[in-house]
Amino acid sequence: MEMVANFISDVSANPLFYLLAFVTIASALCVVTLKNIFHSALCLILTLFSVAGLYILLHAEFLAVAQVLIYVGAVSILLIFAIMLTSQLASRKIVQSNEQVTVAIFVCFLFLLVSIGSLFNTYWNGINAPLPDNNILTIGILLMTDYVLPFEVVSIVMLAALIGAIVLAREERS
Amino acid sequence: MLQYLALAAILFAIGVFGVLTRRNAIGILMSLELMFNAANINLVVFNKYIGPDNLIGQIFALFVVVIAAAEAVVGLAIVLLLYRNWRGIDVDHINIMKW
C-alpha cells in the first residue's frame, strides 16, 4: 500500500516523465507485437520521438535534436524504404512472429527481474551537481579537443558503411 | 534516477523480446534500434546523476547514435540483397552461413 502511495505521489510530482515513459513503452510494445510491419515502423518513430523528449527532460538538448534528425529523419525513412521494397512480405496474412513467443516472454521477464532487482538494491553514489550550462558549446569543445580521434574514426566508419551498403545493394552486372 | 534506469531496462527487455520473436529481418533491426535507445538513455542518465561535471556520457551516446545509423544502413543493404536472391527475408530460413 505504501509503495502504491509513493508511486502515485511520484507520478503527480513529475507527470511529464511518466507520460513520456508510458508513450515510450506502449509504442515499443507495438513495435514488437503488431502484425503489420509497416505499422510497427510508424510506432518506432513514436518511440524515438518520446525518447528524444526524455533527453530534453534530462537536459541533453543537443542529443535530443540529433536523435530527431538521425533516427526520426534518416533511420526510420530507411526502414520504411526497406519495408516498401520488400512489400509483399508486409501483408497481414504472414505470421510475423515465430514459435518462441512464450520462451521469449519468460526470458525477458527473467531479465527484467534481475536488472530491476539489482537496480533497486544498489547504492548509487549520485552527485547532485548541475550539468554544464551551455550544452552545445561543451559538447562541441569536447568533440574538437579530447574526443577528436573518436570523432574522426566515427566519420571513417560512416564512410565505410556507406560504401559497403552501395557495394552490397548494387545489381550484379553479368 | 531510478525510474529512468527502470524505463531503460523495460525498453531493453522489449527489444530483446522483439529480436527473439520476429521472423522478419527488418523487424529484428527495429528491435535493435529499441535496444540502442535503452542503452543511450542509461548513458545520459548516468551522465546527469553520477558525473555531471562534464558531458562525456552524452558524447558517448552521440557516438552510439552514429554507429546505430551505420549499422542500420549495412543491415538493410544485407536485407535487400537477401530479398533479391531468395525472394524472402524470413530469418528462420536463412541458414547459408550455418554448417
So where are chain B's domains?
Answer: 2-97
Task: Round to whole Å and give the CA distance between B81 and B61.
Answer: 30
Query: Are the C-beta atoms of residues A67 and B65 closer than 8 Å to each other?
Result: yes
- Grid coordinates representing A120 are 533497486
List the single residue in A62, A135, A158 with the smallest CB-CB distance to B66: A158
Burial class of residue B2, CB neighbours in 10 A (0-12, 13-18, 19+): middle
Residue-range domain boundaries for chain A: 2-97, 132-174
Residue B23 binned pLDDT confidence (cut-offs 50, 70, 90): confident
Residue B92, helix vs strand vs coil: coil
Whether the pLDDT of residue B96 is over 80: the answer is no
Highest mean pLDDT among A85-89, A109-113, B80-84: A109-113
Q: Look at residues B66, B43, B67, B42 and name the one whose alpha carbon lies nearest to residue B55.
A: B43
Query: Cβ of B81 and A169 within 8 Å?
Result: yes
Nearest to B6 among A71, A116, A125 (CB): A116
A2-97 is classed CATH 1.20.120.1200: yes
pLDDT for A95 beyond 90: no
| Chain A neighbors of B82, CB-CB under 8 A | none
What's the CA gap between B75 and A79, in Å, rounded? Answer: 10
* Chain B neighbors of A134, CB-CB under 8 A: none
| pLDDT tens per residue across span B30-67 | 999 999 999 999 999 988 888 777 888 889 999 999 99
Buried b (16+ CB within 10 A) or exposed e, A100-120: eeeebeeebeeebeebbeebe
Q: What is the mean pLDDT of chain A?
A: 85
pLDDT exceeds cutoff 90 at A159? yes
Q: Which residues of chain B neighbour A21 with C-beta distances below 8 Å?
A: 3, 7
Whole-structure pTM value: 0.87
Quickly count: other Cβ atoms within 10 Å of residue A92's Cβ. 10
CATH no., domain B2-97: 1.10.287.3510
CA distance A2 to chain B (A): 17
- Is A116–B20 a contact, with Cβ atoms under 8 angstroms apart? no
Query: What mean pLDDT comes out for the span A88-113?
Result: 76
Task: Quote the CA–CA distance of A59 and A43 in Å, as a whole number.
Answer: 25
Nearest residue in chain A measured CA to CA from B63: A154
Mean predicted confidence (pLDDT) in A47-55: 92
